[in-house]
C-alpha cells in the first residue's frame, strides 16, 4: 500500500486527529432531519416523487472532503484501488445515509435470464435506483434529453426501454466532489440499499464494454459497515505455473467498508478482478447500508442496461419512518 496526497490539503493534516470544530453538539439523528416546507426539490416528469436538495450544512461539510488521504492498494496483479478511509467523516456520512435512505425512491428489480432453454427469474437481493445518461446525450434543464453532438432533442426512440432521469442535486454534489478527488469524470450514479445482512451483491465485475477500457468506478459507503470482498478472476489453465496461478487459490481481499469510506477501482481492476458484498448474519448490517457508485457510460447501451437492472418495471419503494422499513410507495401514501 502507498499513500497519495491530496491536491487540496497538506498531507500532515490528514493524519492529525479530527479537529475540535468537527465535534457534534447533539447525538446523530436516527432519521433524516425534517425539512422546512419551502426546502428546494428536484422534480422531473421521470421522477415518481420530487427529491429534496441536500441541506446547506451538509453541502458545507462536503467542502471538507476528503477527510483522510487515500491509500493505494496495488500490491497484487492487475489491482489498482484508491481507498479513502474515510472520504467524509462518520457524523456527516451518517447524516448523508439518513438523507438518502429517507428521500430517494428505490426498486426491487426482477429480471429473467436464459441459460440454454431454461429461463430463471432473478430477484435482485437489494434495493436499487439509478440516475444519469451516457456520453452521447445530455439533459436539458427541464429533464428532457438532447443529442450531445447537436444539442437538439433526441429521436423519441433513442432509449426505447427506459426513461433516463437527471442526477438529483443531493447526489450530484457527491458526484462533483468525488470527481475532483478521484481525477475522473462520471455521468451515472447507481445507488444500492442493503436493508439487512440478507441483502447482498454476488461476485461480479463492472467491466461492461459500454464503460470503455479500464473504467474508473468510485464507490461511497454510508451507514452499516459491510465487508467488500475481492478476488482475481480465474486464471486460465494455460497460464498454470505462472505467478498469476497462485491467485486462483488466494484468500479474497477483504475491505471492511465503513460509513464515509470511498474506494476507487481503476486501471485493470475491473477486467481482472471480481467484487462482492456477501450476506452477513446480524451485527451492524441490520441498520442498513447505502452504497453509491459513480461511473461513466460511453454509449447508449449503457443507459439502457443501467435502467433495466436498477429501475426495471416494478413498484417504487420508499423509506417509511414509522415502520422503519422500505414500503411500496402506493401503500405508503395510503397508510401515511
Can residue 293 be called a binding residue for ligand AKG (CB under 6 A)? yes
Out of ligand AKG, Fe ion, none, what residue 124 binds, judged by CB under 5 to 8 A for its kind, is none
Our finding on whether 108 is near ligand AKG (CB under 6 A) is no
Distance CA 36, CA 223 (A): 24
**Residue 219 site contact among Fe ion, ligand AKG, none (CB < 5 to 8 Å, cut-off depends on kind):** ligand AKG
Sole binder of ligand AKG in the list 64, 206, 207, 286 (CB under 6 A): 206
Select 82 or 154, whichever has its Cβ closest to Fe ion.
82
Q: Site for ligand AKG (CB under 6 A): how many residues?
A: 11
Which of 228, 273, 294, 319 touches ligand AKG (CB under 6 A)? 228
Under rule CB under 6 A, residue 285 binds ligand AKG: no
From the list 58, 73, 88, 277, which residue makes contact with ligand AKG (rule: CB under 6 A)? 277
d(CA 211, CA 173): 22
Task: Write the binding mask 157 to 196 for ligand AKG: x where contact by CB under 6 A, - elsewhere.
Answer: ---------------------------------x-x----
User: d(Cα 48, Cα 104) in Å, to the nearest integer?
Assistant: 10
Residue 224 sits at the vertex; the CA angle it makes with 254 and 335, to the nearest 5 degrees, is 145
**Is the distance from CB of 318 to CB of 326 less than 8 angstroms?**
yes
**Which long-range CB contacts under 8 A does 32-37 form with residues at least 24 apart?**
32/98, 32/99, 32/101, 32/102, 32/103, 32/321, 33/95, 33/98, 33/99
Backbone angles phi, psi at 211, to 5 degrees: -90, -5
SS (H, E, C) 280-313: CCCHHHHHCEEEEEEECCCCHHHHHHHHHHHCCC
Shortest CB 295 distance to ligand AKG, Å: 9
Examine residue 70 and tell whether it contacts ligand AKG (CB under 6 A).
no
219 binds ligand AKG (CB under 6 A): yes
53 or 295: whose CB is closer to ligand AKG? 295
Amino acid at each position: 500500500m502507498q499513500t497519495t496526497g491530496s491536491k487540496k490539503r497538506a498531507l500532515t493534516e490528514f493524519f492529525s486527529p479530527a479537529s475540535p470544530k468537527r465535534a457534534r453538539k447533539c447525538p446523530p439523528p436516527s432519521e433524516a432531519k425534517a425539512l422546512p416546507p419551502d426546502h428546494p426539490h428536484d422534480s422531473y416528469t421521470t421522477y415518481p416523487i420530487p427529491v429534496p436538495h441536500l441541506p446547506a450544512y451538509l453541502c458545507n461539510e462536503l467542502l471538507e472532503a476528503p477527510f483522510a488521504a487515500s491509500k493505494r492498494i496495488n500490491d497484487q496483479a492487475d489491482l489498482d484501488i484508491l481507498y479513502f478511509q474515510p472520504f467524509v467523516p462518520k457524523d456527516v456520512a451518517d447524516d448523508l445515509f439518513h438523507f438518502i435512505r429517507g428521500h430517494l425512491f428505490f426498486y426491487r428489480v426482477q429480471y429473467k435470464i436464459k441459460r440454454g432453454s431454461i429461463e430463471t427469474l432473478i430477484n435482485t437481493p437489494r434495493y436499487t435506483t439509478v440516475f444519469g445518461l451516457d456520453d452521447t446525450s445530455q439533459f436539458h434543464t427541464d429533464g428532457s434529453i438532447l443529442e450531445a453532438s447537436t444539442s437538439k432533442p433526441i429521436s423519441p426512440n433513442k432509449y426505447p426501454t427506459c426513461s433516463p432521469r437527471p442526477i438529483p442535486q443531493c447526489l450530484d454534489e457527491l458526484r462533483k466532489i468525488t470527481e475532483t478527488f478521484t481525477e475522473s469524470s462520471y455521468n451515472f450514479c447507481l445507488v444500492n440499499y442493503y436493508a439487512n445482512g440478507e441483502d447482498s451483491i454476488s461476485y461480479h465485475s463492472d467491466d461492461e464494454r459500454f464503460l470503455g477500457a479500464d473504467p474508473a468506478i468510485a464507490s461511497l459507503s454510508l451507514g452499516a459497515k459491510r465487508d467488500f470482498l475481492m478476488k482475481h478472476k480465474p486464471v486460465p489453465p494455460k497460464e498454470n505455473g505462472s505467478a498469476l496461478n497462485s491467485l486462483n487459490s488466494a484468500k479474497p481481499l477483504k475491505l471492511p467498508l465503513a460509513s464515509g469510506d470511498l474506494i476507487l477501482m481503476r486501471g485493470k481492476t475491473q477486467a481482472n478482478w471480481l467484487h462482492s458484498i456477501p450476506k452477513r448474519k446480524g451485527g451492524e448490517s441490520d441498520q442498513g447500508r447505502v452504497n453509491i457508485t459513480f461511473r461513466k457510460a460511453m454509449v447508449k447501451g449503457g443507459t439502457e442496461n443501467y435502467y433495466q437492472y436498477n429501475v426495471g418495471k416494478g413498484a417504487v419503494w420508499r423509506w417509511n419512518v414509522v415502520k422503519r422499513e422500505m414500503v411500496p410507495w402506493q401503500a405508503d401514501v395510503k397508510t401515511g
